[in-house]
Amino acid sequence: MAKRVAVLLSGCGVYDGTEIHEASATLVHLSRAGAKVKMFAPNTEQMHVVNHCEGKPAEGKRNVLQESARIARGDVTDLAKLDVKDFDALIIPGGFGVAKNLSDWAVKGKDYTVQPQVEKVIKAFRQAGKPLAMCCISPVLAAKALPGCEITVGQDKECEKWPYAQTAGVMKDMGCTHVNKNVGEAHVDVKNKLVTTSAFMCNAAFHEVFDGIGVMVSELLKLA
């Protein structure tokens, strides 16, 4: 029987929403595996809008659900309507939308909170014994919602290839176990049924990120 997978989006665009290539890679690998996918997003206002040419905030307001519809080709549902019993697994791609719209990590750092609706869904999947997968910056959601979990955001020593490695240190300070992994690898926290991979936390080629997300999806479906 085909696995039913919910994919949680956070807008559209790396600087203020879901990282589009990570979402696309996730969807391609799920499709190839024969999974049935339904996409969700919170029906809330984005923290702000970013001009992606300049990487700077721009005027205007945008809705996370409406922006996520760009990735979902219009077929996206309000996160409030997600019922865990209808799905076998949950995936959350990365992008700054995770740190701005699904949490306030981008503003508060280690003192961040996860958006209540998002935290509720993560905990519900965990309590139901159903697996979760998160890539790029998304594992910070698990670090808060599933205290003490095992995750990877790549490597813990900052360099040109790993510019966001300090995130691993914060996760350790929060009591999580961070496991160093390369971009083409994923880590499986067996106890929490949580699969993570670094994706664009690494300055890697597109195909390397694509392949790493493929490993994440494969490991997730083994647990589903």
Q: Which residues are catalytic?
A: 136
- SS3 readout for the chain: CCCEEEEECCCCCCCCCCCHHHHHHHHHHHHHCCCEEEEEECCCECCCEEECCCCEEECCCCEHHHHHHHHCCCCEEEHHHCCHHHCCEEEECCCHHHHHCCECHHHHHHHCCECHHHHHHHHHHHHCCCCEEEECCCHHHHHHHCCCCEECCCCCCCCCCCCCCHHHHHHHHCCCEECCCCCCCCEEECCCCEEEECHHHCCCCHHHHHHHHHHHHHHHHHHC
